[in-house]
Chain A
């Protein structure tokens, strides 16, 4: 039982290049999330998928796109990378999130991205 697996662990891009960050979970969770973590700013939500087939913008979606490929996988794409996107990216999953009930987030170990 691996939990949440993110690939790659490290990546260096030049400005303008594109890449896709991969995330997979093996806990049969319904909801998946992409966060970015910058020094002094905590974790900020980029996009989330409440269930298979749906995606929604979070707090900082500009410059990113996502795909919920199936229940297990949720990818994050940077179409034209910018230095401001240098960050650590975390994928997370949870069993369910709803107005009446929240369940904990389970995080992967992150992708460290540098854009030069």
Chain B
């Protein structure tokens, strides 16, 4: 199967600063890497994803970078705002593509 590790488990930043969350994965055949945001009492929601044929993808203040050689990918949030406070999860599929394994989550707090 796939082993996904996520760091840090908690992260506090001042409003306006940047936040970076990192994940590593084990299955070299994995080719799709999504990031999810979970707010209290709700299910996770996709915020950005990247496929293995690109190294970086940006969507306004959010970006994801992928290093396939090192088998790690990172979420970058710039100009953080209080509404960015949530739990963030990374995920990776098995090489067979039919199961997703999730990291253990990062609780991000943005301090106004």
Contact = CB atoms under 8 A, between A and B. Distances in A.
Interface of A: 4, 31, 33, 35, 40-45, 48, 50, 56, 58-59, 90, 92, 97-102, 104-110
Given A97-B93, A104-B34, A104-B49, A45 B43 contact: no
Nearest to B44: A107
Contacts of B49: 104
A42 B104 contact: yes
Given A90-B43, A104-B34, A42 B89 contact: yes
Interface stretch (B11-19, B62-70, B76-84, B94-102): B94-102
B26 interface: no
Interface of B: 1, 4, 6, 9, 29, 31-32, 34, 36, 41-46, 49, 89, 91, 93, 95-105
Contacts, number: 73
Given A40-B104, A42-B105, A104-B49, A4 B43 contact: yes
B99 A45 contact: yes
Given A97-B93, A98-B97, A98-B98, 18 more contacts: A42-B102, A43-B44, A43-B91, A43-B102, A45-B101, A97-B99, A99-B96, A99-B97, A100-B97, A101-B97, A102-B31, A102-B97, A105-B34, A105-B91, A105-B100, A106-B46, A107-B45, A109-B43
A92 B43 CA distance: 9
18 contacts: A33-B100, A40-B9, A40-B104, A43-B44, A45-B101, A90-B44, A97-B97, A97-B99, A99-B95, A99-B96, A101-B97, A102-B100, A104-B46, A105-B36, A105-B46, A107-B45, A109-B41, A109-B43
A64 to B, nearest CB: 15
Main secondary structure, interface of B, reads loop
A43 to B, nearest CB: 4
Contact of B43 (A100, A102, A110): A110
Nearest to B98: A97
Given A41-B104, A50-B98, A109 B93 contact: no
